[in-house]
Structure formats: structure tokens, C-alpha cells
Amino acid sequence: MADTEARGLYLDDLHVGDSYRTADYVVSEPAILAFGAQFDPQVFHLDAEAATGTFFGGLAASGWHTAAITMNLLVTSGLPFADGLIGAGAELSWPTATRPGDVLHAEAAITQITPSRSRPDRGIVTVESRTLTADGEERQRLVACMVVFRRDATLTPR
């Protein structure tokens, strides 16, 4: 969080159209298998050979793994919100599956900013993000609604 804090932006600082490009993230086969074993134990996420006979035609990352990698990218090199990335909700789709060896990055843009009527210290910021391979193949689309605070907000637990 140190980096986020150093660059930290508040609701007051954001504008519709602001855009961000994250660093790259290499997706390894062991990482796909480990995530699959822990969270999505289906043959197409667990066994490269057996996966050839499935819908995916080979080993594929869980969509939730792609989502988690995207969050890592947005947190560590994407969206520099001062109080962190706090999601209220999200819409996801996975046009294609992440594969071993993919080098992913995310491109994100702020598409809407809605100040809270009931809580003037914060707003909801809509961020649209695409997770892409080095070849531009789209692995995930994400529309996330995030809680972002004003510079003078006093953070208190909800």
C-alpha cells in the first residue's frame, strides 16, 4: 500500500476518462494448477492432459484466477486511490480463457463518478477494465463499482 499512498488520489482528484495501464503479470502453469486445486477443482483447471477432452481443449485458468490477477495488477500498478481499492460490486465476463504462459496486463478507465448523497465524504467510482494478453487477446472485461473517499474524509468502520 506504500506506493498507493505515495501516489494516492482522492475522489476530488478523479475525472471521467482518466485511464491507467498496469504492469505485466506472467501466468504460469503451476500457478493455474495451484489456484484450481484451491478454489476451482475442475479437470480443465487441474490436468493439462485430461483438459484436452473438455470444452477448453486444454489447460485453462479459472476465471476467478483471472479476476484475482487483475485485482493484483490494479492494486499494485493500476489505480492509485489513496484509501485503497474497495469494491462494492462488479460485472465480469471472460471472452477467452487465460492460458499457461499468458503475459497479462490491465487497461482501466474511469467511466462514471457518483458522489454519495447520504455520505458526503465519499462517492462511487465506476471503473471499466480489460485484461489483455501481450497479443491483445481479451481475457476479461470488468466493470467495478468502487468506494472512493474525499481528501478530508475521516474513515470510520461502516
* 103 sits near a copy of itself (criterion: CB under 8 A): no
Beta carbons of 81 and 11 less than 8 angstroms apart? no
How far apart, in whole angstroms, are the C-alpha atoms of residue 8 and residue 79?
Answer: 9
Please state the closest distance from residue 2 (CB atom) to a copy of itself, in A: 9
* 137 sits near a copy of itself (criterion: CB under 8 A): no
Quickly tell me which residue has 486444454 as its cell. 58
Number of residues that bind a copy of itself (CB under 8 A): 46
Here the cell at position 41 is 477443482
3-state secondary structure (DSSP) of residue 102: coil
* 33 sits near a copy of itself (criterion: CB under 8 A): no
Q: Considering only residues 38, 114, 120, 138, which one is a binding residue for a copy of itself as defined by CB under 8 A?
A: 38
Report the chain's C-alpha Rg in angstroms.
17
Cβ distance to a copy of itself smaller for residue 17 or 89:
89
Beta carbons of 104 and 69 less than 8 angstroms apart? yes
By CB under 8 A, name the binding residues for a copy of itself.
Answer: 1, 4, 35, 38-44, 46, 53-58, 62-65, 67-69, 71-72, 75-76, 83-94, 147, 149, 155-158
